[in-house]
Structure 1
Amino acid sequence: MVWLQLATVLLFIFIGARLGGIGIGYAGGAGVIVLALLGMQTSMEYIPVEVILIIMSVIATIASMQRAGGLDYLVYLSEKMLRKHPQYITFAAPMVTYFMTLLAGTGHTAFSTLPVIAEVAKEQGIRPSKPLSIAVVASQVAITASPISAAVVAFAAMLQPFGVSYLQLLSIAIPSTLFAVLVGAAVANLLGKPLLEDEVYQQRLKEGLIKQREQTNYIPTSEAKFSVYAFAVSIILVVSYAILLSGVIENPTIGRSEAIMAIMLTNAGIIALKCKINLNEVTQMSTFRSGMSACICVLGVAWLGSTFVNGHIDDIKALSGTLLASYPWMLALILFFASMLLYSQGATTAALMPAALSMGIEPSAAIASFAAVSALFVLPTYPTLLAAIEMDDTGSTRLGKYVFDHPFLLPGITTLVISVTIAFVIAGFVI
């Protein structure tokens, strides 16, 4: 019966992966029903309600900022920076997508900067696949370092009972991922022949398929600027309150998670009032749609995984607890392959991290392995990866004959390996 139940979990995860997007959540809910029919007990306690509510609150603010023009303003600032030192585009591009994701808590902000990255690289005669590949990877790994991302919020809540604070998690995740992205950029810079020697580029050039993107005369509005500044202040407030909870405030009247939700909702309201935005249009924003989709994904897959794990926790500990305790780095491999299928850092974290911690994995090892939930670049089907290919009209960012021979793979694997390695070192000092 145990193996049948495990097969059920894997089957519905596979179905969800095939459906893609919100389908992961749908399949998770269906899987819970089948597990219940197979005799497994489930409960509302297995649903990460707190995480879902925080995602909703953060997305409410980001969508309000987008409607006020804040994301356009961030793209404008990014383009100015990229064009200031275009010769360093392979290193500057991932920094832009990394910090945009770090601040916004979602990697979908990369969509708006990918056309700029491709164009600046093309203008400099640099193979666009170099900056585009590592820019996509940076936007994914930055999720595990963002103070307001679903994955970080979920993981921080799991670590709290073990005496590991939100700030300790960030103090390990941010420097390790940031340095790893720079190493990944160095690797990306070495890959592929020069653009002028690329046969596909030469052929597309002859056929007149390569266009020059016109620079827009975008003028940021006061509303756009205000929304970005207000959002930045809300993040500062969230982090500052977390610092105060680490020792200054002993008996808080509002906890960290509750504070995040309250601050974000308040900030969304302030943006709406000051910028006079139509609230009916906020729900039509791309960030709102992707955020609500993430809530359904986390709900379904986390509920499915938690139902199985909690029903067989003693067996799981007996089978793999000793192995992971002896070789904690193997957790990174498990997270790596799981995120390839789940296509979500938040869903992978919610599904697997509670099991890992319950099996006796040291919190420091779990944090060090955390970046491995960002292996969304391995299969060439993730939206930002496909967008990068589509936006590069030189043809340099292309898929090979086989599934895995694409320009995102080596920079991505390098980034994750370096991040996990550095995090193990830092965690030894921080925790």
Structure 2
Amino acid sequence: MKKYRSLLPIDEEGYYGRFGGAYIPEILHSNVRNLREAFYRYVDDEDFQKEFDALMRDYVGRPSPLYRADRLSALYGTNIYLKREDLNHTGAHKINNAIGSALLAKRMGKHRIIAETGAGQHGVATATVCALMGLECVVYMGATDVARQQPNVERMKMLGAKVVPVQSGNKTLKDATNEAIRDWCCNPDSFYIIGSTVGPHPYPEMVAHFQSVISKEIKDQLRSQIGRENPDYVVACVGGGSNAAGAFYHFVNHPEVKLIAAEAAGKGINSGETAATIHAGSEGIIHGARTLVMQTDDGQIVEPYSISAGLDYPGIGPLHAFLATSGRAEVMAVTDAEALDAAMTLTRNEGIIPALESAHALAVLDKKHFREDDIVVINVSGRGDKDMHTYLYSLQYRDVSL
């Protein structure tokens, strides 16, 4: 069935080692099978790729810059490059997958789009693409996230999407995903655009593929700027893991490039208020895939916590579970306080306000020593406009001059 060669360590059934697969109710079997067939049919189709590339260039504004952060580099005594996904249209990396998925939906004859969102960036990206392509859009969002990400809620509504606040559970990303899957079960003629590398196969592979434009550009831009295409380190935050999958994609098979994933420790790994799934989770099944999950001994989901709505998820994409357990990626748990400090460091030294999600990746600079000649690429997955209320509220109680 496959027409293209994936660069990921995935088998025909969608497993990365023992993680992945498709654990879904019978009502969704034909949907997932049809999606898998369509993805493999169109992913290498010349007309599909031409349309995708044109939208990436002319609508999204790609390639996003790879910026050498001179002041940050001097501060940490190494060479820091920022992949500026925050400069994309809609303000984050999410638009890459939204466009690819929507183009696929249109070719499958789908007219109603379902999405889930945490921080709101995937919801905004999906609503944006649906407005562009004339598609109906329904976005599920936890009520907690609706409150803390109100600007993105208003953007989605302005773009014509129906935003459904979810009141169950912790009222965050997990619960929004649950409701989106329920909608899909009830409306199998709809197309579900998942925002991260989670869910049943082929979603983790498909989302990673559409996001792989990030690492492809990093290689091209490093070659142009410094004469070499592989950095020493690539750093990205992980919740479900889409921006990290995109940033890691073209480097996974190059062991000389060290991969660092920053997950949200919340108030501490052992605090009971954390979203550090790789550190605190165990093997289980969530939202259609076998992966690492925060759960009790009897398999009940433990509610996650993070100051960052986009990382507030009790699972991790199966690719990242594999990369972490195999030792290919180093995983660092970053607390709320460390992320806030990192955000202020970037803001005050480079004039860039990152999303709270991206701030977790930036916090790696304070947790790991890099050599003077290292090339360190950090994926700034989104901009901080959506988080201003949280920043101002949180920082006023800390020793920070605003």
TM-score (norm 1): 0.28
**Structure number having the greater strand percentage:** 2
* Relative contact order higher in (CA < 8 Å, ≥ 6 apart): 1
**Structure number having the greater helix percentage:** 1
TM-score (norm 2): 0.29
